[in-house]
Amino acid sequence: MQSCEISSDSTDDPLSSGLRSHRQPRIVVIGAGLAGLAATKILLKNGFTDVTVLEASDHVGGRVQSVQHGKATLELGATWIHGANGNPVYHLAEDNGLLEHTTDGEKSEGRISLYTKNGVAHYQTNAGKRIPKDLVEEFSDLYNEVYELTQEFFQNGKPVCAESQNSVGVFTRDVVRKKIMLDPDDSESTKKLKLSMLQQYLKVESCESSSPSMDEVSLSEFGEWTEIPGAHYVIPEGFMKIVQLLAQDIPSRTICLSKSVRCIHWNYSAQHQEGNARSSDNNHNDNNPPILGHPIYVECEDEEWITADHVIVTASLGVLKQNHEVMFSPSLPEDKVLAIEKLGISTTDKIFLEFEEPFWSPECNSIQFVWEDEAQLEQLVYPEELWYKKICSFDVLYPPERYGYMLSGWICGQEALYMERCDDETVAETCTELLRRFTGNPDIPKPWRILRSSWGSNPFIRGSYSFTRVGSSGEDCERLAMSLPYTDSSKAPPLQVLFAGEATHRKYYSTTHGALLSGQREATRLIEMYQDLHRAETTKPNM
């Protein structure tokens, strides 16, 4: 059984000296992703010395997973720094020289669309024909016009009509279809092509939102997600460099890897603990908490118990959905459970294919799959054997001097989980057949290497990132972020269980900066509470 080393060194900082008559608070951080590392770094910097990080996997980083490939770094997880001005991830990268070799092709102004930057996107039909560039641009202008309308419902308080079912997908499909069908200048064949392109655009949008379908994304809340001004950046050396910067000042003994948590027993009174201790003496049951005097003990899968005054939970929304019933004792309050159930999370996976030579033209930056037989479909959901129809595109990675001849495919939703169940050979063959079919080139060779993500089946992640599902709102993000116990009663120690992670940030959910800021937010709650306690004790009148 692995035992975590608990640090309790004393220091002479104001916070420690303020608590000298007591003891250093013991803090356990669950998860060593961006949120957990950010929280830990700030706590240590502010004088908290008794901090332990429990990470279920065998590495730090959470949903950041950079894989070295020759000169290049491939990102199976987080890829972009979204925006610059005021973005803590951007400033961390810029201040440490991580963006010095970022090419123009690896940064994007305005609304990002997966990897597509320079060059021209090739929209190909399942008949192997390329859709003319002017028709693509015409449709893109129409789609973006309607996209802007989807932002207005939240931003301008615009009421949502019943016909839209408060769904981004339903609204977008309905408005765009009507505009296409009412265009007197388009032939019937052109209209069909545009309707088919609409479905492809919605697949791309689903991958960006990490939703099974845009039909599940809330129209009334869609505009609350806030874009930070500035470009979007790729870090050539890998996003893992950000993780390393956050972790570099955290002592290695603070982080326990391969340390999965079974249950967080919180709000545990001394009476309960004594009762359990007596039960342990009588029954010789090693599964009871061995140490008294703390309101929380964390039960690990390896049977170790770790006591704490505070626990910061940074588990993903997917893990909370799957495990919250057994992960907390007592159970979470009903309103927090409801927030977990209402908010959405799905899987967006990447499929990297490397070829010895490019079969695409030099100006091609992506191959977009447009299925002409899907023009009138209402639901873009497929049975398991047709999982590949959810792949929306393959993007060309730039520059080739760094990446070689590499394509990155995108798939989301349940179909991504179907893909994860297949072996590499099956996925490589299936993708090759797709590329041959849509380009009309039967001679495209199989890639000589394939690499893909599997976020949906990862038991410690269970999804890529969150979205506001129909029926949920930003208030659910805030409810998820509320610490436990809710009561301000002096009988219950405050801030026992705190929650961080991208899904807890109302405006920046789904982003790395949202995750980082949420970890800093929860650490700051604890810092401010102990500063208030210190002030109260130092200003107490002498009796």
**H or E segment at 352?**
strand 348-355
Would you say the CATH fold of 66-233+348-452 matches that of 27-61+237-270+294-344+462-539?
no
Query: Are 342 and 471 a contacting pair, CB within 8 Å?
Result: yes
Determine the Cα–Cα distance for residues 144 and 147; give it in Å rounded to an integer.
Answer: 5
* Distant-in-sequence, close-in-space partners of 391: CB < 8 Å, separation ≥ 6: 351, 369, 409, 410, 411, 431, 434
Query: Are 345 and 210 a contacting pair, CB within 8 Å?
Result: yes
Intra-chain end-to-end CA distance of the chain, in Å: 50
Determine the Cα–Cα distance for residues 263 and 267; give it in Å rounded to an integer.
Answer: 13
Q: Which residues of 107-117 are buried (b: 16+ CB within 10 A; e: fewer)?
A: bbeeebbbbbb
Answer left, alpha or beta for residue 31, where phi above 0 means left and psi between -120 and 50 means alpha: left
Determine the Cα–Cα distance for residues 155 and 158; give it in Å rounded to an integer.
Answer: 8
Report the candidate in 451, 489, 408 with the shortest Cα–Cα distance to residue 69.
451
10 Å CB burial of residue 378 (0-12, 13-18, 19+) is exposed
User: Given this model, what pLDDT does residue 537 score?
Assistant: 73
Q: In this structure, what is the dihedral angle of CA atoms 242, 243, 247, 253, given to the nearest 10 degrees?
A: -170
User: Given this model, what pLDDT does residue 269 score?
Assistant: 54
Token pair of 126, please?
């399942």
Task: Name the DSSP letter for residue 57.
Answer: S
* Distant-in-sequence, close-in-space partners of 281: CB < 8 Å, separation ≥ 6: none
Block means of pLDDT (10 residues each) for the chain, length 543 residues?
A: 52 44 86 98 97 98 94 93 94 95 70 61 97 96 95 90 94 97 96 97 96 97 92 92 97 97 85 47 45 85 97 98 98 98 98 97 95 91 96 93 94 98 98 98 97 98 97 97 84 93 97 98 97 78 56
Q: What is the 3-state secondary structure (H, E, C) of 220-236?
A: CCHHHCCCCCCCEEECC
What are the residues facing 107 on neighbouring strands?
233
Determine the Cα–Cα distance for residues 334 and 339; give it in Å rounded to an integer.
Answer: 9
Report the candidate in 510, 504, 501 with the shortest Cα–Cα distance to residue 476.
504
Strand intervals (E) in 183-321: 232-234, 255-256, 261-265, 296-300, 305-308, 310-313
Q: What are phi and psi of 274, to 5 degrees?
A: -65, -40
User: Given this model, what pLDDT does residue 445 score?
Assistant: 97
What CATH number has the domain spanning 27-61+237-270+294-344+462-539? 3.50.50.60
Domain 66-233+348-452 matching CATH 3.90.660.10: the answer reads: yes
3-class SS of residue 138? helix
Alpha carbon distances (Å) from 65 to 59, 74, 471, 513: 10, 8, 32, 16
Query: Are 35 and 502 a contacting pair, CB within 8 Å?
Result: yes
Ranges of each domain in the chain: 27-61+237-270+294-344+462-539, 66-233+348-452
Determine the Cα–Cα distance for residues 63 and 33; give it in Å rounded to an integer.
Answer: 7
- Looking from the CA of 258 toward its CB, the CA atoms found within 13 Å total 5
10 Å CB burial of residue 94 (0-12, 13-18, 19+) is middle
3-class SS of residue 467? strand
